[in-house]
């Protein structure tokens, strides 16, 4: 089962993170949480991994509508957007596909909300990909 939307960018990690933040804001998503996986694993386990950050993104109108349709959806909110380094000059963005909300919960009313959120997020990824190669 595919549960993420993915894009590969020919950009260094720091630039990909910055562009992802801007892209999310332009698409109407705020960032509620941030987890720096590289820093966390280094601190907690003293292991080195490639740079990776989880941005907890939220679009308030979609979140409210989803919670009205099924309050259990809060367990899979906010929408995680992961930016990972893929070598020195490439990065990968993976986003939890909002369509998974309907699949996980079985609540059909989430379908239209998830479709709108998915469209905004895929449009954002398309714009990032186009901007990265321009």
Flag whether pLDDT at 133 surpasses 70: no
How does pLDDT run across 48-60, given as a tens digit for each residue?
999 999 999 999 9
Where are the chain's structural domains?
A: 4-133
How does pLDDT run across 33-48, given as a tens digit for each residue?
999 999 999 999 999 9
- Tokens for 53? 């950050």
Flag whether pLDDT at 2 surpasses 90: no
Identify any residues that bridge with 93 across adjacent strands, giving them in sequence order. Answer: 7, 83
Q: What is the pTM of this model?
A: 0.93
Q: How confident is the model at residue 132 (pLDDT cuts 50, 70, 90)?
A: confident
* Mean residue pLDDT across the chain: 94
- Options 3.30.310.70, 3.30.1490.150, 3.90.1150.10, 2.170.190.11; CATH for 4-133 is 3.30.310.70
């Amino acid at each position: 089962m595919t549960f993420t939307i993915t894009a590969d960018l020919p950009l260094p990690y720091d630039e990909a993170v910055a562009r992802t933040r801007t892209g999310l804001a332009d698409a109407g998503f705020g960032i509620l949480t941030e987890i720096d996986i590289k820093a966390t694993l280094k601190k907690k386990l003293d292991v080195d991994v490639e740079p990776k950050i989880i941005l907890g993104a939220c679009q308030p109108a979609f979140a409210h509508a989803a919670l009205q349709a099924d309050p259990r959806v809060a367990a899979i909110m906010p929408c995680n957007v992961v930016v990972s380094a893929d070598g020195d000059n490439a990065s990968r963005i993976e986003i939890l596909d909002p369509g998974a909300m309907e699949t996980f919960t079985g609540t059909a009313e989430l379908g239209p909300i998830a479709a709108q959120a998915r469209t905004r997020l895929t449009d954002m990824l398309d714009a990032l990909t186009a901007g990265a190669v321009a």
